[in-house]
Amino acid sequence: MEWKLFADLAEIAGDRAVAVDAEPGDTVGDALDALLEAHPDLRDRVLEDGTVADHINVLRNGRSVRHDEEGLDATLEAGDELALFPPVSGGAAGR
């Protein structure tokens, strides 16, 4: 599986796309654990008290896993796209 990382998460990991040792049948949480194991510097940015921080968005196929009944326990399928987004703000007003 591959994670797409955005903003400072990509900077911390050193790439915008990171392959991890997870496959269909594993869970989103397993894939996240594999990402954090491969890139431990992400751990403090992504986790808070051992769970995904409220301000971090974990997406599976473009949909937040927070909105899915199974959440991080959702089973991965072939072709799933995983992504991590930190909070996004900015833009210039009045341009």
Residue of higher predicted confidence among 42 and 88: 42
Give the structural domain span for 16. Answer: 2-85
Mean pLDDT computed over 67-76: 93
pLDDT-derived band at 93 (thresholds 50, 70, 90) equals low
Asked if residues 18 and 38 have their Cβ atoms less than 8 Å apart, the reply is yes
- In-domain check, residue 92: no
What is the CATH classification number for the domain harbouring 24? 3.10.20.30
Total number of domains constituting the chain: 1
- In-domain check, residue 27: yes
Each residue's pLDDT tens digit, 13-70: 999 999 999 999 999 999 999 999 999 999 999 999 999 999 999 999 999 998 889 9
What pLDDT, on a 0 to 100 scale, did the predictor assign at position 92? 54
pTM of the model: 0.89
- In-domain check, residue 94: no
DSSP per residue over 5-60, as a string?
E-THHHHHHTSSEEE-S--BTBBHHHHHHHHHHH-GGGHHHHEETTEE-TTPEEEE
- In-domain check, residue 44: yes
